Amino acid sequence: MKLKDIFWMLLLLAIAASAVSCGGNSGSSSAFVKLQGAGASFPAPLYLKWFKTYSDAHQNVQVDYQSVGSGSGVKSFMDRTVDFAASDAAMKPDDMAKVDGGVQLLPMTAGSIVLAYNLKEAPSLKLTREGYAGIFSGKVTKWNDPLIAKANPEIKLPAAPINVIVRADSSGTSFVFSKHLSAISKDFESSIGANNMPNWPAGTKSKGNEGVTASLLTTPGSIGYVEYGYAHSQNLSTASLENKSGKFIAPTAASGAAALASAQLPPDMIVWVSDPEAPDAYPIVTLTWMLLYKKYDDKSKLEAIKGLVDYSLTDGQKDSESLGYIPLPAAIATKVKAAADSI
């Protein structure tokens, strides 16, 4: 090969390499993108399934999600150390105002918060509104308390202490549960109230839905609040709860969907169903939100996030029920997709 031919070959290779390099920084769909997320443990099993499936189908996208609790997730989001966050307590307007460029909240799935328990004497258990509000207010302390016994005449309940398990971290699950208790009990509302970290009068504290589930498994005579999927995956017993209509309802996909049926999603995407009125509704059901920035300077991340959200709201919803979650009602999913398109 002549010297001039080698020169032109090397020149063409250099130009090609330069084009590839520039293309890698242009935000094209072929660029490798790593998305970092953190937050709520409530939807973590479903999110991790979605994110893995999406990453497997898009080899240039890696999604890393840390289940650290809603409070920590919101803080990381405000500090801009993550690309997205997740919270069961949505996000306070004051906090959203501190995020330059704006925040887009997207409800991605829904779930029931259950009262799971470890009591061999009671393979099934019914709890009245007054009964379970009393347990978490510290006023009902024995399993054979009349407020529990009267709803379970067929069970010989022991005169043993109730070992209450609560969350140790700033938690959207705690917020939703305490918001429900405040809605059904004026006494609870005035003494404890709705909070990400309620000042529980008693109880063993565990971090995350994962920690509460582990404590329940290893603590006889215990009761605690967790997202249904965690209790279901570990075969924990869950109580049927008295709803606003006076019926004892077990947590199922159908009873959860009944609770959400009346929810009307406003423009800010935040709606609470703290005490649903439908006769067949399970009483403690909530949406859970993904927190996104209104604007992403990195076009590759923007493209990846929008693709991830679109998948989660469509094919991803098919995974919800098998993991213990409630698929979004069609009317809500349509509004969420429209909001996602505005990012």
* Tens digit of each residue's pLDDT (9 = 90 or more) over 295-310: 999 999 999 999 999 9
DSSP label of 323 = G
Name the residue type at position 54. Answer: Y
pLDDT at 30: 61
Pick the more confident residue, 24 or 178. Answer: 178
In whole angstroms, what is the distance from residue 226 CA to residue 207 CA? 11
Q: Which architecture, in CATH terms, is 112-261+271-284?
A: 3-Layer(aba) Sandwich (3.40)
In whole angstroms, what is the distance from residue 266 CA to residue 274 CA? 16
Residue % of the chain over a pLDDT of 70: 91
In whole angstroms, what is the distance from residue 102 CA to residue 96 CA? 7
Q: What are the tens digits of pLDDT across the range 213-233?
A: 999 999 999 999 999 999 999
In whole angstroms, what is the distance from residue 326 CA to residue 280 CA? 15
Mean pLDDT is lowest, of 8-12, 160-164, 212-216, 279-283, for 8-12
Instruction: Say whether pLDDT at 41 is over 80.
Output: yes
Alpha helices, DSSP H only, in 25-125?
A: 44-57, 70-79, 93-97
Q: Where in the chain is the domain with CATH 3.40.190.10?
A: 32-111+286-341, 112-261+271-284
Task: Fold for 32-111+286-341, please state it.
Answer: D-Maltodextrin-Binding Protein; domain 2 (3.40.190)
